[in-house]
Structure 1
C-alpha cells in the first residue's frame, strides 16, 4: 500500500491540518456534552439514568468499530475511509442538533460514533505515511497529539460557553461548518491511496466477533454504574464479552486473512504503549468528567463558569505539545518523557482527591488542573510515537485503529468505574445520615483517588514493559522500512 505522500513539504503539512481538523471534531464531541448534560436532561425529559446514554450511545459504536474501520481503511484506502467518516459524522451532528426527543438524540449520537470510528481509525496510519522521516514525524505527531489532547479539554469549555450563550443544540451544530470544509478539503488535498482491495479478502467473521466483543464490553462497563459490578447482569455480559474476544483470538490464528495480525504484538513497545494508554486514559476520566461534576454540583459553578475553569487545560496542553514535549522526548527519550508525564498526572489526581466541599478554585482546583495538563502535554506525544514506532507500513491502519481502540476503551472503563464508585460511596454515606453535599463530595474524592491508583498502574507498566527497548531512544518515531520490518518478523 503506497500510503498518502503529497509531493511537497507544504502539501504534507496542509494534509496534517485537515487530519487534525477531522480529529478535533470527534475529540470535542467526546467531552463537549459533559457540561451541557443538565440542560439536555431538562429540555428533552431524560430520566437521571437515561441521560447517561447521551455519552454511552457515542462511546459504544466508537470503541466497538475502530478495529474494523482500521482494517477496512487498509483495504479500500484510508483517504476514502477518512472522508466518508467525516461525512457521516457531520450528518449525524446535524441530526443531534435538531433532535427533539431522547430517542432521536441517542440514535444520532450512535451514528456520530460510527462516523468517529471511521475517521479516527485511519488517522495515525495516514500520518505515518505522510511523514516517514523520524524528526519530521515527531513534529507532526506533536501537532496531532496537541490537537487531540487540547481538543478534549477544550470540549468542556466550549460545551459550557455554547450552552450558556445559545443552547445545547449548538454543541453539535458547531460541527457543521468544520465538517463540510474538512470533507471538501480532504477530498481535494489528500493524495489517493488505492488500498489492498476488498478482493484481497478480509476476516469478516473475525470482524463480527471482535466488534461484538468490544461493543458488548463497552456496553457492560458503562452500565455498571446502574447495575453494579457484582450483579448477575454485569457478570454474564462480561463473561460473554470475554468469550467472544477469546473466540476472535483463536480465529486470528487460523484464518488466512486475519483482521488483527497478532504478530504486531511481538513489539513490546506497541503492546506496552497500548496497555499504558488504557490505564492513563481511564484515570484521566476522573479529571475530565468527575472534575466538571465537582465544580457544578459541589462548588455550584454555572455551565459557562465551569467551562472557563477548565480553559487553562487546553492552553497548557497545546503549548507544551507544540514545543516543549518534542524537545523533552528528544533530550531524554520518549519512555522517560512518558514516565514524567504520568507522574505529573498522578500528582494532579492526588490533589483533586483532597478537594473539600468549600473548595477554592485558586488553591484546590487550578494547581491540579495545571499538573494534569502538564503531564498529558508531555506524556501523550511520547506514548503516541512509541505506539507507532515499530509499525510496518501495511499494518499502519491496523495499529492506528488498535491505538485509538485502547484509548476509547480506557475512557469507557474509567467513566463506568469511577462514576459507579462515586455513586456507591455517595449512596452509602447518605444512608447513614451524612449531608447531601458532603456525601456527594466524598464520592467524587473517592473517584479521584481511584483514578490516581489506576494511573499508578500505568506508570508501573510503562516502567516495566518499556524498559531497555533500544528503539525508544531519541524520539522513537523513526521510519521503519518494509525490508527491516520483514527481517524482524
Structure 2
C-alpha cells in the first residue's frame, strides 16, 4: 500500500492507473443520477412518504458536498492511494446496504454513507491523476478522458438507471456499484504508486473541518430547502445566514492557523480561482438545462425513462469528442482560457437554441442540435478546467485543490437545481394565471405553462453560461505551452499567475 515512486521519472503503470481512476470516477458520477430514476419504485417498495422521498437525494448531496474539503485533506494526510482504496471500499459497502435496504432508515443511511465515502474518493481520484501524469501532453490526454467521464457520466446514469429499474429492479441501481468498486480498488492496490514526498504530514485542522463541513452542509441544504419551501421561507433564510457566518468564520480561521485545512494559496492563485468560479457557474446552467430537458421529454413529450436516457446519449458522445479530441489536442497549443471561454460560449449558444422549445418540438430539429453543441462546448471547456485546477499545486495540497473542483461542481449543481427550478415554477404559475384553457382544454394549457417555465429558466442559464465564459476569459491567464516552469504554490500564490508564455497545462514538479 505504501510503495512510492521517484516522482522525477514517469510512472510506468500510469496508463493502467488511469483506467482504474476513471472507473472510480464513472461510478461516483453515475450515482448522482442513476438513483433518481429508481426513486419512485424504491418509494413504493419501502413505503417512503412523499415528504421524505427527497432525502434519498438530499442525504447523498449533503454528505458529499459537506465533507469534500475534509475528504481532500484526508487524502493529502493519508496518501491519495490509501484514501482512494478506502473510499472505494466504503462506497461499495454503502451501496450493498442500500440495495438490501429493508426500510426507509437503511436506505437513507446508505445514501449518506455513499456521499461520505464519495467525498473521500472523488478528490483522491483527481489528485492521483494530477500527481501521476507530469508530462504536459500525456497530462492533456489523461485529463481529456477524465473530463469526458466527469461531464458525461450523469446522462449515462439516467440511461443505466432506466434499464436496471425496468428490466431488473431499483435495488440494482445500488448493486451495480459493487463490481465497479471492487475492480477499481483491486486495480488501484496493485497498479497505482504514490509519488515520493507527496504526503502532507501536518496536523489536521479540526476547527477548519467543523466549520467547513457545517458551512457547506448549510449552503447545500439551503438551496434544497429553497427549491421545496421557497426562497423567503424562514428555514431557507436561516440556513443561508448560517452558511454565510460559518464559511466566513472558516476563512478567518484558515488565515490564522499554522496548518489550515484549505490553504489560502490554493484558492487565491488567479488561475485556480478562475477555474473554480467559471466551472461552478457553468455547472449551474448545465444542471438546470439537464433537469428541464428530462422533465420536458418525460412529462410533455411522454418519453419513458429508457428513451429519455437514449435521447441524452448524443450529448455524451459530443462531450467525449469535445474533451478527448478538441480539448486534448489543443490544450498544449493554445492558452487554456481560449478553450474554456469559447467552450462555455458554445454551451450558451446551445442553451439559446433550446429556448425555442414548444409543446410539439421535434427531437432532431430542436433538441438534438442543442444537445450536441452543449456536449461539444462543455467537453472542450471541462478538459483544461480539470487540469488547470491542479496546475502548479504542491503535491501536499493536491487533494484539497481537487476537492475544491468537486465542491464548485457540487455547490453549482445545488444552486442550478434550486434557482432555475424556482424560476421555471414562477414563470409557469404566471403563465397559467394569465391564460385560460383553449380548445385543447386544461391539460394542454398546463403543458404550455410548463414549457413556458422551462424556456424562461433556460434563458437564465444562457446568461449564467455567458458569465462563466467571461470569467474564464478575464481571470484565467495560463498561456501557450513553451515553458515548463511551474507556478509557485508558496506563500500567497502571488508568483503563481502564469504569463502568456507559460504552459497551458504545466508539468507538476515534485
TM-score by length of 2: 0.88
Question: Could you say if the C-alpha distance between residues 477 and 107 of structure 1 is closer, same or farther in structure 2, counting changes exceeding 3 Å?
Answer: farther
Residue 473 (str. 1) matches residue 480 (str. 2):
yes
Matches within 5 A, 1:72-151: 72-151=74-153
Distance across 2 between alignment mates of 1:392 and 1:472: 20
Q: Return the offset for 1:344.
A: 1.4
Alignment partner of 1:488: what SS?
Answer: coil
Q: Return the offset for 1:199.
A: 6.6
Q: Return the offset for 1:484.
A: 12
For each residue in 1:271-325, what CA deviation from the matched residue of structure 2 results, as whole angstroms up to 9, or x when unmatched?
0110001100011002322211111011100111111111112222223322222
Checking the alignment, whether the CA contact within 8 Å between 2:94 and 2:114 is kept in structure 1 is yes
Residue 464 (str. 1) matches residue 466 (str. 2):
no
Checking the alignment, whether the CA contact within 8 Å between 1:385 and 1:477 is kept in structure 2 is no
Residue 415 (str. 1) matches residue 402 (str. 2):
no
Match for residue 339 of structure 1 among 334, 338, 341: 341
Checking the alignment, whether the CA contact within 8 Å between 1:385 and 1:476 is kept in structure 2 is no
Aligned to 2:71: 69
Checking the alignment, whether the CA contact within 8 Å between 1:287 and 1:448 is kept in structure 2 is yes
Residue 448 (str. 1) matches residue 450 (str. 2):
no
Q: Return the offset for 1:476.
A: 9.9
Distance across 2 between alignment mates of 1:438 and 1:475: 55
Question: Could you say if the C-alpha distance between residues 441 and 54 of structure 1 is closer, same or farther in structure 2, counting changes exceeding 3 Å?
Answer: farther
Q: Return the offset for 1:2.
A: 10
Checking the alignment, whether the CA contact within 8 Å between 1:35 and 1:307 is kept in structure 2 is no
Moved more, 130-139 or 187-196: 187-196
Aligned to 2:215: 213
Checking the alignment, whether the CA contact within 8 Å between 2:5 and 2:196 is kept in structure 1 is no
Matches within 5 A, 1:61-460: 61-192=63-194, 200-431=202-433, 433=436, 435-460=445-470
Q: Return the offset for 1:33.
A: 2.8
Q: Which runs of 5+ in 1 are unaligned?
A: none
For each residue in 1:391-429, what CA deviation from the matched residue of structure 2 results, as whole angstroms up to 9, or x when unmatched?
122221121111111111111111111222223333444
Checking the alignment, whether the CA contact within 8 Å between 1:70 and 1:122 is kept in structure 2 is yes
Q: Return the offset for 1:25.
A: 0.4
Aligned to 2:441: none
Question: Could you say if the C-alpha distance between residues 32 and 5 of structure 1 is closer, same or farther in structure 2, counting changes exceeding 3 Å?
Answer: farther
Checking the alignment, whether the CA contact within 8 Å between 2:55 and 2:108 is kept in structure 1 is yes
TM-score by length of 1: 0.92
Distance across 2 between alignment mates of 1:242 and 1:210: 11
Question: Could you say if the C-alpha distance between residues 3 and 376 of structure 1 is closer, same or farther in structure 2, counting changes exceeding 3 Å?
Answer: farther
Aligned length, in residue pairs:
486
Distance across 1 between alignment mates of 2:484 and 2:467: 25
Distance across 2 between alignment mates of 1:428 and 1:5: 64
Moved more, 66-75 or 103-112: 103-112
For each residue in 1:373-402, what CA deviation from the matched residue of structure 2 results, as whole angstroms up to 9, or x when unmatched?
111111100111222213122221121111
Moved more, 478-487 or 139-148: 478-487
Question: Could you say if the C-alpha distance between residues 206 and 9 of structure 1 is closer, same or farther in structure 2, counting changes exceeding 3 Å?
Answer: closer
Q: Return the offset for 1:37.
A: 3.8
Q: State the superposition RMSD in angstroms.
A: 2.7
Checking the alignment, whether the CA contact within 8 Å between 2:158 and 2:305 is kept in structure 1 is no
Question: Could you say if the C-alpha distance between residues 415 and 389 of structure 1 is closer, same or farther in structure 2, counting changes exceeding 3 Å?
Answer: same
Moved more, 157-166 or 231-240: 157-166
Checking the alignment, whether the CA contact within 8 Å between 1:96 and 1:108 is kept in structure 2 is yes
Distance across 2 between alignment mates of 1:374 and 1:33: 26
Alignment partner of 1:425: what SS?
Answer: helix
Q: Return the offset for 1:12.
A: 0.8
Checking the alignment, whether the CA contact within 8 Å between 2:5 and 2:11 is kept in structure 1 is no
Checking the alignment, whether the CA contact within 8 Å between 2:322 and 2:378 is kept in structure 1 is no
For each residue in 1:247-278, what CA deviation from the matched residue of structure 2 results, as whole angstroms up to 9, or x when unmatched?
11111121111111112233110001100011
Alignment partner of 2:358: what SS?
Answer: coil
Distance across 1 between alignment mates of 2:296 and 2:29: 22
Match for residue 60 of structure 2 among 52, 58, 61: 58
Aligned to 1:488: 495
Distance across 1 between alignment mates of 2:490 and 2:133: 18
Q: Return the offset for 1:67.
A: 0.6
Q: Return the offset for 1:54.
A: 2.4
Q: Return the offset for 1:337.
A: 0.8
Checking the alignment, whether the CA contact within 8 Å between 2:199 and 2:395 is kept in structure 1 is no
Distance across 2 between alignment mates of 1:408 and 1:4: 33
Q: Return the offset for 1:49.
A: 4.9
